[in-house]
């Protein structure tokens, strides 16, 4: 996994105690995934314009510590597994002081505009790219 993005916990991301709502981690995972692909030369918008979509079929998160209002976050992402018609990404989110906050993964199917499963498109990066 490589560091691919940073984010800051805004007030709207938090509950009444100033702790980041747990669902926001999936949004931060998405930021990491999109930026990881961008760094590898694959712009997500270009995939969708080619009629290729990556719906999430599985998501896992292990929460390690709470992100709080105004924390600066460091997002790490990488490809964990690439198969004929799916890809799994791994993520780690840390506070900018290095405190681990969450780790997890998402698995995505490759589909066409009609939702039918398709093979990995040409040019899709692998973790070694």
> 23 Cβ partners below 8 Å, 6+ apart?
none
> 128 Cβ partners below 8 Å, 6+ apart?
none
Confidence band (pLDDT; 50, 70, 90) for 118?
very high
Q: Is the pLDDT of residue 126 over 60?
A: yes
How far is Cα 57 from Cα 100, in angstroms, rounded to an integer? 25
Nearest by Cα to 104 from 20, 33, 4, 13: 33
pLDDT digits (tens, 9 = 90+) for 38-61: 999 998 898 999 999 999 999 999
Nearest by Cα to 27 from 5, 45, 49: 5
Domains, the chain, in order of start with CATH, read 2-109 (3.10.129.10)
Confidence band (pLDDT; 50, 70, 90) for 123?
confident
What are φ and ψ of residue 25, in 5° steps? -60, -35
- pLDDT at position 122 is 82
pLDDT digits (tens, 9 = 90+) for 71-113: 999 999 999 999 999 999 999 999 999 999 999 999 999 999 9
pTM (two decimals): 0.91
Q: What are the respective helix, strand and coil percentages of the chain, to the nearest 5?
A: 20, 40, 40
């Amino acid at each position: 996994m490589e560091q691919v993005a940073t984010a800051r916990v805004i007030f709207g991301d938090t509950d009444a105690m100033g702790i980041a709502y747990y669902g926001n981690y999936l949004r931060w995972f998405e930021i990491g995934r999109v930026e990881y692909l961008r760094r590898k030369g694959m712009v997500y918008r270009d995939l969708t314009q080619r009629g290729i979509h990556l719906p999430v079929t599985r998501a896992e998160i292990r929460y390690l510590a709470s992100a709080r209002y105004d924390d600066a976050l460091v997002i790490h992402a990488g490809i964990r597994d690439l198969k004929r018609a799916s890809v799994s990404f791994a993520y780690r989110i840390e506070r900018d002081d290095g405190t681990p906050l969450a780790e997890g993964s998402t698995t995505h199917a490759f589909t066409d505009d009609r939702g039918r499963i398709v093979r990995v498109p040409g040019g899709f990066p692998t973790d070694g790219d």
